[in-house]
Amino acid sequence: MCCFYFQSGAQTDSFCGKVEAVSNLVDTYHFKPKKLNDSLSIGVYDLFIELIDPKKRLLTQSDTAAFNVDRLKIDDYIKDKNCNFIGKYAKILKSRINESKGYLEALSNAKLDYTGSDSLYFNAGKVDSYFRDESSVKRYWNKRVRYELIFKLMEQDSVLENLKSNFKTLELKYRQTVIENEICVLNEIENRDGGLLQFVEESFLNAYLSYQDPNSSYFNSSEKSLFEQGISNTQFSFGIDTYKNDDGKIIIGYITNGSAAFKNGNFDVNDEILVLNYKNTSLETNCISNDAVVAFLNNEDYDDVNFKIKKKDGSVKTIKLSKEETKVEDNTVKGYIIEGEKRLGYIKISSFYTDLESFNGLGLANDVSKQLYLLQREGIEGLIIDLRYNGGGSMKEAAELTGLFIDRGPVAITKDRIDGQFTVRDPNRGMAFYKPIIVLQDHFSASASEFFAGAMQDYKRAVIVGSGTHGKATSQQIIPLNDKENIGFARLSIQKFYRITGRSHQSIGVIPDIELPDFYDDFKTEEKFYKYAIENDTINTTMTYIPLRGYGIADLKRKSEARTNKNVAFKELKSINQKMVKHVINRKAIVPLTLEGIYEDTETYKRMWQAYSNFNSKNSGLLKVMNTKSTAERLEYNKDEKTINNQYLKTLSNDIHLTEAANILQDVLSNY
């Protein structure tokens, strides 16, 4: 029988206000809002249930049967401003968490079976079901503890014979540790910022927005701050990156050069964070996710925080630290020289960042223009622009970057519900760089990256090399739910954008002129595999643009294929990819729940990843990559940065995709 969860009127009203605000914003600004009807109710409900129990390790079939009364009523609840339904989900979740903790505690002294009478079943194509009853829940935790215990023992000793001979002793030694870690993971769900009820409420808001499209979402203040840092060249922060280690401790993994923590001098990499305190708000890091720590540190209201940290020597310190404006290291652009038959330039663009605080908004495009000036002073004959792993950012920066390489004209078309169709143009005559260009992309190049790559391809201004891109042709805007008080934000897809041909890369990606094998081929990471992904479409356009004569793609492609087909490294990469797709992405396996069974399965997995790691390390010295004179001079005064730079140069010199991009550019220049 379902229980009722009693909320205060203020809690219900607050959540209802958010739901109403989100619904109104979608209706007003989303480029194609979905109707508030039974179809929406079913879609939002299904997404919501997935979000509150994503791994299906808590809820039972009786729970979902009880919840199903809401499946066709979500639209009615929203219309009637009735939010009383939400509380029962938090109550049931809390109950299931507590029950699971009880089952885990009972395993401390239970006899666990490692004879192989049980097995683990893996089927990537099968959707997991919810637990049938209490016995299936207990069986799940029993199996999980056994699996995690074997895995824990393998971390202590990687030799199977040693594990077999000492198994009974080691199993007893580490059993309680494994059980406590599992209980800690369950506590993390309850210990989220705002508590379990807020987690459930925000999951519902995210479900409502994700039903519209996979790029619309709800942000609380910390999430908004984190997102904006990703597309900004500066951030107001402490300059500390953290991670959670295997023992459940929150560890400082990186300190940004020049940041508040760096200048303070009392923080070191590998320090453990015990407690964070802002005024009367404290966050103890026991049984807390790293996400919760990141959210606390990025809360816009928490300018001064007391850090209680444990040093490597065991001493404990409490240090007060104030946020400072810090340059985002990933959002910087540096130019490099690739020596060869012809001297080439190389620019890596990690994101299309911008200055969110400046009136002029100078960001990526301005920084690239400065690097182009330095590279051209060194006599480069061609340029490689690397967009791999670039998830996008500012469309304005993408348009301005395109403008550096074309001589006036349209670069894209946008379409929204308010302004209709609009042509994005480069209004400036002339180009900052006239010589041949290669754009290097991969499956993770998305949004603004695709905007730029598509425009360069349509103008025949660059040869596009690599793999197909992510397939995201929408732009989002972050809108507050309430102008007067901070109750959260909606990140809404307000606009679609199209290439100047009227075609879209939505859900299909930008197809490269010359395709190269990639480790992530067939990993199904592209947007077309997301639920409720926007379908591809085209628009009619009569605009004129003048493409260049191009570079003779067919001949370049033939030469590149001849090289890659003979290249041992690319052959090995294809082989590694095929094994990963078969044994990981499309995995179907039955693994005996024994020491030998788990050991062999884990070792097989490790061997595949090790093959990829070895592959990256053994392709050494393929390219001669150097700093520009300007960078070399600056590094003479910063030893730490020089060490990082030397490692990066080594990484570039070993990069087979960059090497082939350079070969293609040399082919272009030989006929230019």
Judge whether 74 lies within some domain.
Answer: yes
> What pLDDT is attached to residue 10?
52
Give CA–CA dist 295/289, Å, rounded.
10
Q: Are residues 273 and 315 in the same domain?
A: yes
Is residue 571 domain-shared with residue 584, that is, in the same domain?
yes
Q: 476, 534 in Cβ contact below 8 A? A: no
| Co-location of 352 and 453 in the same domain | yes
Q: Which residues pair with 218 in a beta bridge?
A: 490
Same domain, 260 and 121: no
Per DSSP, what are the bridge partners of residue 217? 491
Range of the domain at 317: 234-327
Residue 624: strand, helix, or coil:
strand
Please check whether residues 564 and 438 belong to one and the same domain.
yes
Q: Assess if residue 219 is contained within a domain.
A: no
Entry pTM = 0.92
Paired with 316 in beta bridges are 310
Let me know whether 600 and 615 are in one domain.
yes
Under 8 Å between Cβ of 242 and 293: yes
Q: Would you state the pLDDT for residue 325? A: 87
- Looking at the structure of the chain, the number of domains it has is 3
Q: Which of 392, 391, 390, 386 is nearest to 346 (CA)?
A: 386
Q: Is residue 2 part of a domain?
A: no
Q: Is residue 228 part of a domain?
A: no
Rounded to whole angstroms, the Cα distance separating 365 from 386 reads 14
- Of the candidates 539, 527, 540, which has an alpha carbon nearest to the alpha carbon of residue 444? 527
Instruction: Name the residue with tokens 């005559």.
Output: 429
Say what the pLDDT of residue 86 is: 97
Q: Which of 289, 311, 327 is the last residue of a domain?
A: 327
Beta strands in 294-433 (DSSP E): 304-310, 316-322, 324-327, 335-339, 344-348, 382-386, 409-416, 420-426
List the one residue out of 34, 45, 46 whose CA is nearest residue 73.
45
- pLDDT for res 110: 96
Pairing mode of beta strands 624-627, 304-310: unpaired
**How far apart, in whole angstroms, are the C-alpha atoms of residue 463 and residue 457?**
7
Q: What is the C-alpha to C-alpha distance for residues 68 and 140, in angstroms, rounded to an integer?
A: 24
594-628, pLDDT tens digit by residue?
A: 999 999 999 999 999 888 888 877 777 789 999 99
Q: Say which CATH number the domain at 594 has.
A: 3.90.226.10
Strand ranges, E, within 50-209: 119-123
Which of 487, 491, 485, 490 has its CA nearest to residue 14?
Answer: 487
Alpha helices (H) in 68-193, listed in sequence order: 74-80, 87-106, 134-156, 160-190
Reading the block at residue 523, the tokens are 């990993």
CATH of the domain at 306: 2.30.42.10
Based on the fold, state whether residues 323 and 333 are members of the same structural domain: no
Residues 6+ apart with CB under 8 A from 139: none
| Domain co-membership, 307 together with 431 | no
Kindly state whether residues 294 and 349 are assigned to the same domain.
no
Helix/strand/coil for 266? coil
- Residue 354 DSSP symbol: B
Tell me the β-bridge partners of 553: none
Q: What pLDDT shows up at residue 656?
A: 96
Q: Taking a C-beta distance cutoff of 8 angstroms, is the pair 348, 313 a contact?
A: no
Same domain, 478 and 626: yes
Residue 25, phi then psi, degrees to nearest 5: -65, -40
Q: Determine, yes or no, domain membership for 217.
A: no
3-state secondary structure of 19: helix
Residue 322 within any structural domain of the chain: yes
- CA-CA-CA-CA torsion sign (364, 370, 373, 375): negative
pLDDT at position 358, please? 66
How is 542-554 classified by DSSP, letter by letter?
-----------HH
Q: In this structure, are 252 and 364 located in the same domain? A: no
157: Cα within 13 Å, side-chain hemisphere = 14
End position of a domain, from candidates 307, 327, 347: 327
Q: Tell me: do 255 and 128 sit in the same domain.
A: no
**Maximum distance among all alpha carbons in the chain?**
78
Beta-bridged to residue 424, according to DSSP, are 412
Q: Tell me, yes or no, whether 222 lies in a domain.
A: no
Paired sense of beta strands 420-426 and 409-416, if any:
antiparallel
229 lies in some domain: no
Query: Could you give phi then psi for residue 586, rounded to 5 degrees?
Result: -110, 35
| pLDDT value of residue 4 | 33
pLDDT of residue 615: 84
Helix (H) or strand (E) holding 80: helix 74-80
Using CB atoms within 10 A of its CB, is residue 607 exposed (0-12), middle (13-18) or buried (19+)? exposed
Could you tell me which of 646, 482, 633, 657 has the C-alpha nearest to residue 569?
Answer: 657
From 295, 327, 359, the end of a domain falls on 327
The structure tokens 């809108």 sit at 479
Do residues 448 and 472 make contact, with C-beta atoms less than 8 angstroms apart? no
- Residue ranges of the chain whose pLDDT lies below 70: 1-12, 357-361
H or E stretch at 255: strand 250-255
What is the spatial distance between Cα 400 and Cα 364, in angstroms, rounded to a whole number? 9
